[in-house]
Structure 1
């Protein structure tokens, strides 16, 4: 199926969800104070887009997200390449990583807030912790899947470990790393907004949502904020997925061909 076809199917699914939500609210199946009409929510989301203060809150969330994901990539890629290219180091460090990885990032919010205080530093730290794992492990898995023949060929001709890594292993693992970065971006946005919601004060989309839920008629604003958060996620994923297709089109074709 073409990308246009997949996009139309996705749009059709979104239209069905919006129509169902509108129907539930209009018919009174769900009270409007609990579920405003989809039209009301979308109208409020559009109006928020014209509010400079709300856009500033969006920019705060995007800045925290971008900083955290960039740091996660800067940490995860080199560490993943190190663990994947030197099996002895990977074997020694793997138990520690497997112990740390399952710890929910939200469970660390009280501890990190106690150490760093509430603010950008805490938010970025949690985004980094949550986002680094898909980048790191995708880099490791990508190196493990590299064809050994080109590597051994270069070694026979006298190329060192770093030269083999740069010329063969890294290009072969790059599509896996790119996928890890895309996953990390989605996880990082979840953590950025979630941390702001749990904090309940400061700046960011999550703070807007948290404060709106305290208002007597704030359900529409809560849902409109969620629409913005979800829209950011869609845009980020679309940009990164498009970049993957352009940079690694040969890898996508191999997957489609079943190779």
Structure 2
């Protein structure tokens, strides 16, 4: 069996085992079914949400803010990483600023975002952008720093300029590590956008749906079904990025396996 199929089979078995364990815990009475519904009930409600137009609209709101902020962060972080790598004095000056801003939680900036931007979507995108920028920027800087200097000097010795060296050596070498930063930012951005929807309210997105499901006495099965959808979104987006990386950077995977 191919290694990829083995990984898929193991992952599927792991998910099935986790679902069975969650079902068993409730069915045996270890957890009160009124507090936490069985996994089978949650999955059934999650499947029903697939035909719920209102919920799908909420999902679209979340995805739009999530991917929009991530795309903007990718463009800005990679461009900033290239600039800082090319100018050592600016890199040294910006290092303290980066280390100061990076630990600040995005959720702490929600009041500032809601005051600065007129719409909830813009607020969510700005916070996703802020949270996603740092892992991409850090990965870009470290990747560019570790590019083989011999390869760059070889190209320069043949008369190639700085731009050619950047496009032919630095960017291709750094690209797999930048992609890893994007995948990290992908998960961070999803957490931030749903958390922002939960805090800001307004009924937008998956977070707004989760809040609404708890009004009027609460529907725990519906809330957990919405959470399952959030997890599926992250899983699907990560799978797409991993598949794209394997196709785009086959040479990198081959070199890693050989090493």
TM-score range (shorter-chain normalised) is over 0.9
Contact conserved, 2:203 with 2:211, CA < 8 A, in 1? Answer: no
Alignment of 1:131-142 (within 5 A): 131-142=132-143
Alignment of 1:23-172 (within 5 A): 23-117=24-118, 119-172=120-173
Gaps in structure 2 of 5+ consecutive residues: none
Aligned residues, how many?
258
Q: By how many angstroms is 1:110 displaced?
A: 2.0
Q: By how many angstroms is 1:14 displaced?
A: 1.1
Could you list the runs of 4 or more consecutive aligned residues of structure 1 that deviate by over 4 angstroms after TM superposition? none
What's the CA shift string for 1:95-138, capped at 9, x where partnerless?
A: 10011001111111122223325511110000000011111111
Gaps in structure 1 of 5+ consecutive residues: none
Find the residue that maps to 1:15 and give its secondary structure: helix
Q: CA RMSD of the aligned region, Å?
A: 1.4
1:5 alignment counterpart = 6
Q: By how many angstroms is 1:236 displaced?
A: 0.1
User: 2:6 & 2:181 partners in 1: Cα distance?
Assistant: 26
Q: By how many angstroms is 1:4 displaced?
A: 1.3
2:237 alignment counterpart = 236
1:226 alignment counterpart = 227
Find the residue that maps to 2:204 and give its secondary structure: coil
User: 1:66 & 1:128 partners in 2: Cα distance?
Assistant: 9
What's the CA shift string for 1:139-188, capped at 9, x where partnerless?
A: 11111111101211222233222221111111111111111112111211
User: 1:78 & 1:115 partners in 2: Cα distance?
Assistant: 25
Q: What is the TM-score of this pair, normalised by structure 1?
A: 0.95
User: 1:222 & 1:4 partners in 2: Cα distance?
Assistant: 33
Contact conserved, 1:118 with 1:199, CA < 8 A, in 2? Answer: no
1:190 alignment counterpart = 191
